């Protein structure tokens, strides 16, 4: 499955313009899976190192054994830390994939809602014999509302993407950016 594309409707370019997110959500999901795989490898390495530490202490006494036990203990901790880091990065990458997909879906939903609202307005115009100016005024308002919603979605996307990028760089525990809530609010195009 490839990246989401803008919905193919007559006025999609007018509504979305150049605000469509360019990153590929599927690429972020693939990289998250790679990071999860790396975390599993680090977990296995930590387990093997822990087994070696457990074996070394009772069987290998003295300065050399103590040094080896300490070294293996340090390696165990490093592998455990790497596992945590890879899992955290995977979580951030999964959030990035979700952020991209939700922003694109919200933009497509807004575009579909605009087209539906305009079609409803055209039906009303025929039924109620609106003037062309009256219909044009309604269309202008619908376009402006839809474009404003797209701008809101794009701003939330940019802010969330920046937060996610910082989280990836820090490899800290992932948390969904607050701005992503914007995608779940409905637009008011009608």
Q: What is the pLDDT of residues 161-184, one digit of tens each?
A: 999 999 999 999 999 999 999 998
Confidence of residue 59 (pLDDT cuts 50, 70, 90): low
The CA angle 18-159-93, to the nearest 5 degrees, is 95
- What contacts 44, CB < 8 A, 6 or more positions away? none
Per-residue model confidence (pLDDT) at position 51: 79
What share of the chain in percent tops pLDDT 70? 93
Angstrom distance (rounded) from CA 145 to CA 143: 5
Nearest to 28, CA basis, from 152, 157, 165 = 165
Query: H helices of the chain, where?
Result: 12-16, 25-59, 62-127, 132-170
Q: What is the Rg, in whole angstroms, of the alpha carbon atoms belonging to the chain?
A: 26
Contact by Cβ (8 Å): 31, 93: yes
Query: Which 3 state secondary structure label does DSSP give 187?
Result: coil
What confidence tens digit (pLDDT) does each residue in 69-126 have? 788 888 888 888 889 999 999 999 999 999 999 999 999 999 999 999 999 999 999 9
pLDDT for residue 190: 57
Which of the pair, 74 or 185, is modelled with greater confidence?
74
């Amino acid at each position: 499955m490839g990246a989401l594309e803008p919905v193919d409707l007559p006025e999609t370019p007018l509504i979305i313009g150049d605000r469509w997110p360019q990153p590929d959500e599927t690429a972020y999901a693939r990289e998250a899976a790679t990071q999860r795989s790396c975390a599993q490898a680090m977990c296995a390495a930590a387990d093997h190192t822990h087994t070696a530490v457990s074996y070394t202490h009772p069987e290998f006494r003295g300065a050399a054994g103590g040094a080896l036990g300490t070294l293996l203990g340090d390696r165990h901790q490093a592998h455990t830390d790497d596992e945590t880091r890879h899992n955290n990065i995977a979580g951030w990458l999964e959030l990035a994939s979700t952020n991209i997909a939700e922003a694109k879906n919200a933009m497509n939903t807004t575009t579909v809602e605009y087209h539906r609202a305009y079609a409803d307005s055209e039906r009303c115009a025929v039924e109620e014999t609106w003037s062309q100016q009256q219909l044009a005024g309604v269309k202008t308002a619908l376009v402006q509302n839809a474009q404003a919603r797209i701008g809101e979605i794009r701003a939330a996307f940019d802010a969330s993407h920046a937060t996610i990028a910082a989280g990836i760089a820090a490899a800290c525990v992932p948390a969904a950016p607050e701005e992503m809530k914007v995608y779940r609010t409905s637009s008011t195009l009608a």
